[in-house]
Amino acid sequence: MIAIIDYDAGNIRSVEKALQFLGQEVKITRDREEILEADKVVLPGVGSFGDAMGKLHQYGLVEVIRQVAEKKTPFLGICLGLQLLFERSDESPGVEGLGILKGEILRIPEGEGRKIPHMGWNSLELRNQGRLFAGLSGEPYVYFVHSYYLKARDEQIVKATTEYGVTIHASVEQDNIFACQFHPEKSSDTGLKILKNFVEL
């Protein structure tokens, strides 16, 4: 069973539908035992960093997510779910992230012809042989919606980047922790392949 963590953030249903399309048993839950007993765990999310961390604390999920990480259960953060795994964000100064991975979330810089939020399809440059991208070649196109981007401290965990005024760390992987700034569930066949790679870990 794949547990999708429910903390009142948007975008949960589309992730659920994509995983069900791949034949997975999925449960949207904030129940500690269900999350800890799941074969895999997904943290989706659309919204603000500070509000999301507040909800994770309110529902007692911060400790649960840390336990999932320690148990080596495969864990996938999507969009805001990626950002929350890191230490801090420009979006919410003074709010501590989960800190499971090292790095910070910065605002995409303004620039001529550059709309913020960054919304639409961008190609990825794959690097460091990420397991989520097994079987994908070239520069796969995926769908982004975000105003803030990841700068990971350790370049070795970065498995895909994209360019949007700056080099965006678009996907990371460390041990059992995987995360994508883009939305695999909205990225057509490429996104389904990425999710399939995750469920087959």
pLDDT at 129: 93
pLDDT at 11: 81
Give the span between the Cα atoms of 181 and 167, in whole angstroms: 13
pLDDT at 9: 85
pLDDT at 134: 97
Catalytically active residues, by annotation: 79, 183, 185
pLDDT at 137: 85
What are the average pLDDT values for consecutive 10-residue runs of the chain, which has 201 residues? 94 95 98 98 95 97 97 97 98 98 97 91 96 95 97 97 96 98 97 98 96
pLDDT at 56: 98
pLDDT at 120: 95
pTM over 0.85? The answer is yes
H/E stretch holding 82:
helix 80-84
Confirm if 128 and 134 have CB atoms less than 8 A apart: no
| Integer angstrom CA distances of residue 115 from 32, 165, 187 | 39, 10, 20
pLDDT at 138: 87
Fill in the amino acid letter for 160: A
pLDDT at 185: 97
Give the span between the Cα atoms of 63 and 197, in whole angstroms: 27
H/E stretch holding 163:
strand 158-163
